[in-house]
Structure 1
Amino acid sequence: MKIAFSPCPNDTFVFHALTHGLIEDAPKFEVKYADIDITNNLAVTPEGLDVMKISYAALPWVLNDYALLPCGGALGRGCGPLVLTLDGSTDPAALTGKRVAVPSERSTAYLLFRLWAAKHVPGGVGEIVVMPFDQIMPAVRDGRMDAGLVIHEARFTYPEYGLSLQVDLGSWWEEDTGLPIPLGAIIARRHLDLKAITGWIRASVEYAWQHPEASRDYVLSHAQEMAPDVAQSHIELYVNDFTADLGDSGYAAIEALLGRAAAEGLVPAFDLDKLKWPQVEA
């Protein structure tokens, strides 16, 4: 079976047991490590793998072929994307007509940014430039971009680049809706045994929590020279109760985000019932 997820600490922590033969009855998994922009686009092609980590914002394009699984992904509070600048401005109007770097056009981060900017940036931003998330902060620091939309460990490291926080989009979303932030989704092809896959992934999450030391070398080997304490902070932020099970509030957050986006024409219209598939409920 083929699976794709990022080399970020939360994903390698969660999927370590599954991909190292530590889950009973699970098949051997062939792993593709890929940035979220790659998996978002891969999922809409015939080359899409059996199981993939994509942005929740990309779900409307793939729900006919893939089912959303209720575990393994990233959804929570206090873990949203940030808009960073070099000039220290906290006035949203300062982004009017500016160049903004984003990690993917179909990322949840960019979708949240578009929803926020529509209300707070008069006249709209200027050029949007997609680039790998680890290149965004250097581009803003060096003046090649006016602002950057960042995710993952950038929450902890952006001061090292001399950058300032303009807005925490996760805080904005939580204040606006009262709901957690849907970030990364785990999907599987609908023709597969979704109940079994869900069980294997949930078991991998539980193994990771019960044996945190077991995955440490694996996590750090893929962490792009990240300091161990930053990697651990990354795991603690993005791996939470929603990773084991989305639950009612998790599904409510996903429906709120994608329902609002569809109503505003930012994603294709789709059947909300396809988000929660009876075969993969806990």
Structure 2
Amino acid sequence: MTKQLTFGYSPCPNDTYMFNAIAHGAVGVDGYRLQPVLHDIETLNGMAMDTVLDVTKLSFYAWLEVKDRYQLLDSGAAMGFGCGPVLIARKQLTPTEIHRCRVVLPGRWTTAHLLLRLWAPKADQRLFTTYDQIFNALSSGRADCGVIIHESRFTFEAAGFTPVVDLGAWWEEMTGLPIPLGGIAARKGLGKGLIRQIDAAVNASIRRAMADPEEALPYIRRHAQEMEDAVLRAHVRTFVNDFSLAQTDLGRRAIEQLESMARDAGVI
């Protein structure tokens, strides 16, 4: 009898691209059905805190809180250069003004929130919503500035907003390392053997997508917030790369650096 493993990931183009083969049964684990559970990243972070899912995408900030229960996979990471969160506003703001501003963020446990806390530790007027509501929060005046992630980094200027700081670029200048945004983790209780098989399935699904990018487009379009093909393709190119196939020593150093800076700042 086939057993079921719940697999949580976001509806964002990079995740639906990478896991299209798993979602449609072209790649899997012998004896198991990897059942997709799609939610925004902060919902997945919260579910990880309660150990709800067997396998899940989560922000690295959240993973630092649950790594006693979840093992990070080698495959599936959202990590790289030039792909970090961006702080935006309706008008230009100076860094010294940020601590007086209301900042809207895409979730308490997102790496975007952690990076803001590291960059602007005195910015304590922090509000939270889902990533797709950041523009609305700024346009309505509920917040003075906001941190965007996912496909919003490609559309914010056309929507009338201006960049304040690229938090990913700040991280890269500070550390010389890729920015670790999120990864895939499996419940340690599944056992090391099964976790290795899950990791191999995730890797195979990504490789299949890279070999035939067009195959995943219908699945991507079904879930994407931004439907323009040029934006979808730019999103995938930005967030799916060699680090998605394997963390490498450089990637592991980036995660360790993020944890070290978070501990030094007292936010974990």
Given the superposition, is the C-alpha separation of residues 225 and 162 from structure 1 closer, same or farther in structure 2, using an over 3 Å criterion? closer
Where 1:53 maps in the other structure, the secondary structure is strand
2:170 paired residue number: 172
CA–CA distance in structure 1, aligned partners of residues 110 and 69 of structure 2: 19
1:52 paired residue number: 56
Greater than 4 Å deviation, 4+ residue runs:
none
CA–CA distance in structure 1, aligned partners of residues 44 and 195 of structure 2: 20
Cα RMSD between the aligned structures? 1.2
1:106 paired residue number: 109
2:263 paired residue number: 262
- Say if 2:151 and 2:231, in contact at 8 Å, map to a contact too: yes
Where 1:153 maps in the other structure, the secondary structure is helix
2:144 paired residue number: 146
CA–CA distance in structure 1, aligned partners of residues 118 and 154 of structure 2: 24
CA–CA distance in structure 1, aligned partners of residues 170 and 267 of structure 2: 18
CA–CA distance in structure 1, aligned partners of residues 88 and 28 of structure 2: 44
AA aligned to 2:21 is: A
Percentage identity across paired residues of the two chains: 40
Of residues 185, 188, 203, the one that matches 1:190 is 188
AA aligned to 2:118 is: L
1:181 paired residue number: 179
- Once the two structures are TM-superposed, the CA of residue 25 in structure 1 deviates from its matched residue by 4.5
TM-score, with length taken from structure 2: 0.94
CA–CA distance in structure 1, aligned partners of residues 227 and 214 of structure 2: 17
Given the superposition, is the C-alpha separation of residues 145 and 18 from structure 1 closer, same or farther in structure 2, using an over 3 Å criterion? same
Question: Is structure 2 residue 223 aligned with structure 1 residue 222?
Answer: yes
- Equivalent residue pairs, number: 260
1:209 paired residue number: 210
Question: Is structure 2 residue 90 aligned with structure 1 residue 92?
Answer: no
Question: Is structure 2 residue 21 aligned with structure 1 residue 23?
Answer: no
- Deviations 1:117-176, CA, capped at 9 Å, x for gaps: 13xxxxx22421100111101221232210001101111100122110000000000000
2:232 paired residue number: 231
5+ residue gaps, structure 2: none
- Say if 2:87 and 2:167, in contact at 8 Å, map to a contact too: yes
TM-score, with length taken from structure 1: 0.89
CA–CA distance in structure 2, aligned partners of residues 32 and 107 of structure 1: 19
Question: Is structure 2 residue 84 aligned with structure 1 residue 65?
Answer: no
CA–CA distance in structure 2, aligned partners of residues 59 and 24 of structure 1: 24
AA aligned to 1:219 is: I
- Say if 2:61 and 2:111, in contact at 8 Å, map to a contact too: yes
2:45 paired residue number: 40
- Say if 2:28 and 2:34, in contact at 8 Å, map to a contact too: no
AA aligned to 1:62 is: V
- Once the two structures are TM-superposed, the CA of residue 24 in structure 1 deviates from its matched residue by 5.8
CA–CA distance in structure 2, aligned partners of residues 240 and 177 of structure 1: 20
